[in-house]
Structure 1
Amino acid sequence: MQMRWETFLEAIRERGEYATPGEAERAARVVLALLGAHLVGEVRAELAARLPETFELILLNPLQAAEPLSPERFVRATAAWIEGATEETAKWDVGAVLSVVADAAGGDLVGRVLLQLPPGYDLLFGRPTAA
């Protein structure tokens, strides 16, 4: 089921402790554009279908990635796209957005998403797996 825009942004705002919905939206746009470049096929389409329409389109029309980014490089790339961000604040942004995405997706779909990503993304999604 598709998550409502307000519900999605409010959850990110609360989790990321953002002062405004605009800050939460900016983080969500960057993180989802980067994430979309790492996912393909049915998994990306299924995940997109659970997000509010604007974010669904961002995930389906991602920034192009030359190669899959490790979790650390994903955080660095996020920092580069968010004005005034540091790696520490970007890690916070990524965690806030991806943990809400994981809630919207549910465990089964998150498991399939993680199979398409390099090791270590489970922590960014707030879903650590036993090694």
Structure 2
Amino acid sequence: MTRHRRLIQQVRTLGRYPSDEEAERVLTAVLAVLGSQLTGDERCELAATLPERARAVFASQIPLPKPVAAPAFVEAVARVLNTSLTAARWDASSVLAALASLGGERLTDRLLARLPRSYALLFGRADLTATAAA
């Protein structure tokens, strides 16, 4: 099984999608939106971990000067997939959790440090920063 197929299978399992085609459609959409959010070393390191087809989608996006907050990210995913915000949140979380698994804990920590704090839940992590500061 190719690396790309394994990633699709992981997204399909996490998102409980009915087919590989649906999982790949969601993966492509989320990677396209994520590609507009990341810059610097983290962008390069994530791209290096992705299978070639996924890397091409991610790397072809021009990054924004500053990443948007998670709700705006989810809205962008909803627009690309032409779906509801609830479905887009599920889709984004399914893909980002798969990417967290693929990239490992260290890269995920670095990605979350680069993105607005509100992304932690989308990556399948609790956002304990506010609790720790209290």
- TM-score normalised to the size of structure 2? 0.89
Q: Which residue of the partner structure matches residue 19 of structure 1?
A: 18
> How far apart, CA to CA, are the structure 2 residues paired with 1:45 and 1:59?
10
Q: Which residue of the partner structure matches residue 45 of structure 2?
A: 46
RMSD over aligned Cα atoms: 1.5
> How far apart, CA to CA, are the structure 1 residues paired with 2:57 and 2:76?
16
> How far apart, CA to CA, are the structure 2 residues paired with 1:50 and 1:37?
17
Describe how 1:86-105 pairs up with structure 2 within 5 A: 86-105=84-103
Indicate the structure with greater helix content: 2
Q: Which residue of the partner structure matches residue 28 of structure 1?
A: 27
Q: Which runs of 5+ in 1 are unaligned?
A: none
Q: Which residue of the partner structure matches residue 107 of structure 1?
A: 105
Contact preservation (8 Å) 1:33, 1:63: no
Contact preservation (8 Å) 1:38, 1:116: no
Q: State, as a whole percentage, how many aligned pairs show the same letter.
A: 36
Q: Which runs of 5+ in 2 are unaligned?
A: 130-134
> How far apart, CA to CA, are the structure 2 residues paired with 1:78 and 1:120?
16
Say yes or no: does 1:123 pair with 2:121: yes
**Greater gyration radius:** 2
- TM-score normalised to the size of structure 1? 0.91
> How far apart, CA to CA, are the structure 1 residues paired with 2:66 and 2:41?
20
